[in-house]
Structure 1
Amino acid sequence: MTALAACRRPALPHYPHSPQHRDGRFQNPRPRPALGFWKGLKLAWAVLFAKPSGTVPDTPIPVRALDRAQLEVAPDRSLYRLGHSTLLMKLRGRYWLTDPVFSERASPVQWAGPARFHAPPIDIEDLPPIAGVILSHNHYDHLDRAAIARLDAKTGRFIAPLGVGDQLIAWGIDPAKVEQLDWWQSTEVDGLRLTATPAQHFSGRGLTDSDRSLWASWVIQDEDLRVFFSGDSGYFDGFKAIGDAYGPFDLTLIETGAYDQRWAFVHMQPEETLQAHVDLRGKWLMPIHNGTFDLAMHPWEQPFERILELAATHQVPLSTPVMGERVDMRAPGPGSQWWRKAEISSALQTQPAPVEQR
């Protein structure tokens, strides 16, 4: 091998059959507005050094500790919010995880970056065998390398958008366990049907891999049960297209948090979350992507308050479970306003202490 060949970069993955992949990168149907160098620098400064007060809770928040015995006796179609966009679902007697993040920080390093507000309700080692992990994209608050490594031995399948699966394989996951889908492609696992659907977002874990992998939302079908998992997305007409193709949905799990007008193209305001739920023809709405990491400039509890008010105004059934609380996916129930200080105090007195991070 010549010195020149040894110095060449590996060939970039190529996805010639994907309509989303052009010129070496994945694209949104509507191009993402360019932020520009100076605006980007100003925004980075604000996020890193000029955070307003209140973006992190000043008291512990309630978490219902889980153990394997509880999960094994739970009825089918149970769902547990473990934090941020990490959800544990029991379907057809088996267990599924979305975007599992269990590390202390949503960051490329564990000595800096957004730290958790709470420990996960259950540790990875205490989970039962996982039928599959469903991934939406590769950002650090959705794809946790340490968690993937710890889940590998107990997970049957990793189902991901194009390119995200390649990342898993590069980390040592057996390619036979990895399935990658483009938008509108489906797979079936033990009677459960999973379809990758569009989202309006972006990808990247470093300075050189921007949009080299795809981002997606997911439709989860278990016979007559239909669930929508948004991953991350700005508001766009794709929600109506998904609703027309797969709705109505019994439950929509939609991002409501880490929003800001400066990045509105890739993260929805609460009003847009509600509209996305309506477009999808959802019955119950569960707001996710909140309550675990400090990723924006708004008060940490604001996403809950805003979506609660909007849902009441528009008579949309809203479910806001405590982290670790069991939810019936067909009839979730409203939950509680656990993020309010009086509710936090009461919940911490009556619930088991949060499990410690291992």
Structure 2
Amino acid sequence: MNRRSFLKFGALAGLIGLGASGTAMALASANNPYHSGPVTDHFDGTRFFNPDGAAPKGFSDLLKWQLGGDREPWPASVTSPFAPAKPEPRIEGDRLRVTMVGHATMLIQTAGLNIVTDPVWSDRASPVSFAGPKRFIDPGVVFEDLPKIDVVLLSHNHYDHLDVTTLKRLRQAHNPLVITPLGNDAIIKADAPTMQVMAGDWGDAIQSGPATFHFEPCHHWSARGMNDRSMALWAAFVIETPGGKILHIGDTGFDNGRPYTNARNRHGKFRAAILPVGAYEPRWFMKDQHQNPQEAIEGFLLSGADYALGHHWGTFRLTNEGRDAPKEVLMAELAHKGVAEDRFRPLHVGEVWDYPATA
């Protein structure tokens, strides 16, 4: 393995949160640099975990995956069939519009609020600028064309979701409120000390303007480097607005459907579900932490949402499946299950969806 390949490998390890093996991790310092608090059903005093869930794979499994081949080819670059979107300044009342920027970054507009999820406008989803997963397609909204951003929802700290460079740009241009699970506030504040950040635990809620943002469990993990695995929390969000409730998940394993049934039991009917559908192969490695399109559809049906949007595909190459495989598998499985295509749409970069009021 040459030096450049080693650097790319290291960047990928940081991106997906894989550090040393379980034995070495057990020998790591008990100190958590991001969060301190009482022991709970998902925090052992040092690390967060998925109750009755599966731990992420170790370093030896990462090596096995990376050296195993079986990666479908991707094009050198991609041009979206949709021109870069030019968002309106505000979408008022109970209208709901979502614009796909790329990967897990979306602009959600409703009730006069402009919300951005897991914002990444950088060229790489990586701890370094010269290696790691590179953007295959330009952002669906030019950064300078963004309307005034009120809220950033940040689901967890992997590099394809928490990009400090983009957050600092947003701080300078928009000064939004960042809402994020426990521990990620410390990561953000270390590089952007003047950013407005509010952190919460599963079950907490934060109100901003006409919306309430609820922190919900999902099945994932976190890391920024080789020795901080699961020291910051991950979460799904329920966005409660005058026009209905939105279930937004940045990343999750299917976990026997618990992220969906738990959310439905707590919050009732959803107008929309925003769900990851990509980065799922090989299944032996990814299954516990990244759902595939079939599981995303099952989760959508369990949630009882009227409509679903599929994200987390086609922007950064993270795993083995082809670029368009998530969309193609999703469409085939919708037909197999008899679910109308217009109820679950894997949005292209730059695509805009104005949601109907009801299904």
Same fold (TM over 0.5): yes
Looking at structure 2, the residues matched to 314 and 166 of structure 1 have their Cα atoms a distance apart, in angstroms, of: 44
Within the candidate set 137, 141, 148, 1:129 is matched to 148
Q: What does the per-residue CA deviation read over 1:183-208, in whole Å, with 9 as the maximum and x for residues that have no partner? A: 11111111101101001000001011
Judge conservation of contact 2:306–2:358 (CA < 8 Å) in 1: no
Change in 2 beyond 3 A, CA 1:31/1:244: closer
Judge conservation of contact 1:56–1:299 (CA < 8 Å) in 2: no
Within the candidate set 180, 186, 190, 1:170 is matched to 190
Within the candidate set 254, 261, 264, 2:275 is matched to 254
1:32 aligns with 2:54: yes
Change in 2 beyond 3 A, CA 1:18/1:328: farther
Q: Which has the larger radius of gyration?
A: 1
The residue that corresponds to 1:190 in the other structure is 209
The residue that corresponds to 2:171 in the other structure is 152
Change in 2 beyond 3 A, CA 1:170/1:120: same
Amino acid at match of 2:188: L
Within the candidate set 254, 257, 266, 1:245 is matched to 266
Change in 2 beyond 3 A, CA 1:59/1:254: closer
Amino acid at match of 2:265: D
The residue that corresponds to 1:22 in the other structure is 44
Amino acid at match of 1:28: N
Within the candidate set 296, 318, 322, 1:295 is matched to 318
The residue that corresponds to 1:105 in the other structure is 124
SS at match of 2:309: strand
Instruction: Provide the aligned C-alpha RMSD in A.
Output: 2.3
Q: What does the per-residue CA deviation read over 1:55-86, in whole Å, with 9 as the maximum and x for residues that have no partner? A: 3466533342123xx42275642210110110
1:314 aligns with 2:337: yes
1:1-358 matches, cutoff 5 A: 12=33, 13-16=35-38, 18-33=40-55, 35-46=57-68, 50=69, 52-56=71-75, 59-67=78-86, 70-72=87-89, 76-153=95-172, 154-174=174-194, 177-236=196-255, 237-260=258-281, 261=283, 262-316=285-339, 317-330=343-356
Looking at structure 1, the residues matched to 175 and 37 of structure 2 have their Cα atoms a distance apart, in angstroms, of: 26
SS at match of 1:254: strand
Change in 2 beyond 3 A, CA 1:182/1:54: same
Q: What does the per-residue CA deviation read over 1:336-356, in whole Å, with 9 as the maximum and x for residues that have no partner? A: xxxxxxxxxxxxxxxxxxxxx
Q: What does the per-residue CA deviation read over 1:20-78, in whole Å, with 9 as the maximum and x for residues that have no partner? A: 211400011124246355333212334xxx363423466533342123xx422756422
Judge conservation of contact 1:124–1:150 (CA < 8 Å) in 2: no
Looking at structure 1, the residues matched to 32 and 52 of structure 2 have their Cα atoms a distance apart, in angstroms, of: 27
Q: What does the per-residue CA deviation read over 1:82-129, in whole Å, with 9 as the maximum and x for residues that have no partner? A: 101101011222211000011111111121111112111223233222
Looking at structure 2, the residues matched to 171 and 190 of structure 1 have their Cα atoms a distance apart, in angstroms, of: 27
SS at match of 2:299: helix
Give the TM-score normalised by structure 2: 0.83
Amino acid at match of 2:88: L
Give the TM-score normalised by structure 1: 0.83
Q: What does the per-residue CA deviation read over 1:254-307, in whole Å, with 9 as the maximum and x for residues that have no partner? A: 110000212200001222111111111111121110011111101111110111
Judge conservation of contact 2:90–2:114 (CA < 8 Å) in 1: no
Looking at structure 1, the residues matched to 273 and 169 of structure 2 have their Cα atoms a distance apart, in angstroms, of: 28
Looking at structure 2, the residues matched to 11 and 285 of structure 1 have their Cα atoms a distance apart, in angstroms, of: 36
Amino acid at match of 1:141: D
Amino acid at match of 1:22: D
Change in 2 beyond 3 A, CA 1:59/1:152: closer
Q: What does the per-residue CA deviation read over 1:138-164, in whole Å, with 9 as the maximum and x for residues that have no partner? A: 001111111001001213301000001
Amino acid at match of 1:40: L
Amino acid at match of 1:163: G
| Percent identity for Structure 1 against Structure 2 | 29
Amino acid at match of 1:257: G
Looking at structure 2, the residues matched to 196 and 9 of structure 1 have their Cα atoms a distance apart, in angstroms, of: 26
Amino acid at match of 1:292: T
**Structure 1 gap segments, 5+ residues each:** 1-7, 334-358
Change in 2 beyond 3 A, CA 1:327/1:37: closer
Amino acid at match of 1:235: F
SS at match of 2:271: strand
Looking at structure 2, the residues matched to 249 and 239 of structure 1 have their Cα atoms a distance apart, in angstroms, of: 11
Query: Which deviates more from structure 2 when the two are superposed, residues 300-309 or residues 54-63?
Result: 54-63
